[in-house]
């Protein structure tokens, strides 16, 4: 049987959190702590970004991984929350398995258009360059702690990890979902930073226009990872929206 690495906390309705390409499980620590105390079972699997064969390192393969993981956990009608690459994976899964997803939450999601650090990381051995690029992900550069910068620096200076990172980024760009989004009827909440430089505000508006059952909420003075920059605001928006949806059922 395949071995999965994941964090699970709380009891109740299942929320699966999907991290981004450069993001770790810790990016969602405030979401986990909040919702695990609100009658939700919060699960965050570690995506196999560095463990699949290189030719299988694609967004579609990660969606297949999610499908296998949900079956492994014997879950049905899950809530999916994805940041960046994680949102893209959630969209692919929801399109393929519409009856398995109760709600979808996207924050700074790829799937339409995104800016990246660039395909070659021209100054990847320059720590200050990587630090500056990492800080640009956030509106408040102080959110990019030394621990986060060190992790990005290690990733882009590890040849195997860099090759996989670039392969996934290219796969995400190739897998543009504009033609598929109108088919996804899942209730979808978009929580977006008004100052996101990676997936800019026009990306959020395009998602809202193409997803037939979507609602867009903005967070001011916020970049690409709202759940990290404004965890309390993010959690309140999400909690209220989930309750509104449940009240209508």
Residue 241 lies in a domain: yes
What integer pLDDT is reported at residue 249 of this predicted model?
52
Higher pLDDT, 165 or 215: 215
Beta bridge partners of 189: 105, 215
CB 94 within 8 A of CB 177: no
What integer pLDDT is reported at residue 120 of this predicted model?
55
CB 11 within 8 A of CB 42: no
Q: Name residues whose C-beta falls within 8 Å of residue 95's C-beta, 6 or more positions apart in sequence.
A: 177, 180, 183, 184
Cα→Cα distances 150→62, 95, 124, Å: 25, 36, 12
| Cα–Cα distance, 31 to 83 (Å, whole number) | 12
Length of the chain measured in residues = 249
Residue 213 lies in a domain: yes
Mark residue 4 as left, alpha or beta (left: phi above 0; alpha: psi -120 to 50; beta: remaining).
Answer: beta
What integer pLDDT is reported at residue 3 of this predicted model?
84
CB 216 within 8 A of CB 204: yes
Mean pLDDT of 34-40: 96
Residue 77 lies in a domain: yes
Residue 96 lies in a domain: yes
Per-residue pLDDT band for 25 (boundaries 50, 70, 90) equals confident
Cα→Cα distances 68→133, 135, 154, 198, Å: 34, 34, 30, 29
Mean pLDDT of 103-125: 80
Number of structural domains, the chain? Answer: 1
Owning domain of residue 186: 6-112+176-248
What integer pLDDT is reported at residue 123 of this predicted model?
74
Q: Given a cut of 70, is residue 248 above it in pLDDT? A: no
Mean pLDDT of 105-121: 79
Mean pLDDT of 145-162: 92
Mean pLDDT of 233-240: 98
CB 49 within 8 A of CB 63: no
What integer pLDDT is reported at residue 188 of this predicted model?
98
> Which CATH number fits the domain that encloses residue 38?
3.40.50.1820
What integer pLDDT is reported at residue 177 of this predicted model?
96
Residue 144 lies in a domain: no
Per-residue pLDDT band for 247 (boundaries 50, 70, 90) equals low
Mean pLDDT of 64-74: 96
Residue 221 lies in a domain: yes
Q: Given a cut of 70, is residue 205 above it in pLDDT? A: yes
Residue 133 lies in a domain: no
Q: State the average pLDDT for the chain.
A: 92
Residue 74 lies in a domain: yes
Q: Given a cut of 90, is residue 26 above it in pLDDT? A: no
Helices and strands (H and E) in the chain: how many: 9, 7
What integer pLDDT is reported at residue 113 of this predicted model?
87
């Amino acid at each position: 049987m395949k071995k999965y690495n994941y964090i699970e906390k709380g009891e109740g309705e299942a929320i699966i959190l999907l991290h981004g390409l450069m993001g770790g499980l810790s990016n969602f620590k405030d979401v986990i702590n909040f919702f695990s105390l609100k009658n939700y079972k919060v699960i965050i699997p570690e995506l196999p970004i560095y463990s699949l064969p290189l030719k299988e390192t694609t967004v579609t393969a990660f969606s297949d991984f999610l499908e296998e993981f949900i079956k492994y956990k014997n879950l049905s009608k899950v809530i999916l929350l994805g940041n960046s690459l994680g949102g893209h994976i959630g969209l692919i899964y929801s399109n393929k398995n519409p009856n398995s997803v109760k709600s979808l939450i996207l924050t700074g999601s790829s799937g339409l258009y995104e800016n990246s650090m660039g395909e070659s990381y021209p100054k990847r051995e320059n720590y200050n360059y990587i630090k500056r690029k990492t800080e640009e992900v956030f509106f408040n550069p102080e959110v990019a702690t030394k621990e986060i910068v060190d992790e990005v620096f290690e990733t882009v200076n590890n040849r195997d990890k860099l090759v996989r990172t670039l392969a996934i980024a290219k796969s995400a760009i190739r897998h543009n979902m504009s033609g598929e989004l109108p088919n996804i009827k899942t209730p979808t909440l978009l929580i977006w930073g008004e100052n996101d430089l990676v997936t800019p505000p026009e990306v959020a508006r395009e998602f809202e226009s193409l997803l037939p059952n979507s609602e867009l909420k903005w967070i001011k003075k916020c970049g690409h990872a709202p759940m990290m920059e404004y965890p309390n605001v993010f959690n309140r928006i999400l909690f209220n929206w989930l309750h509104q949806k449940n009240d209508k059922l």
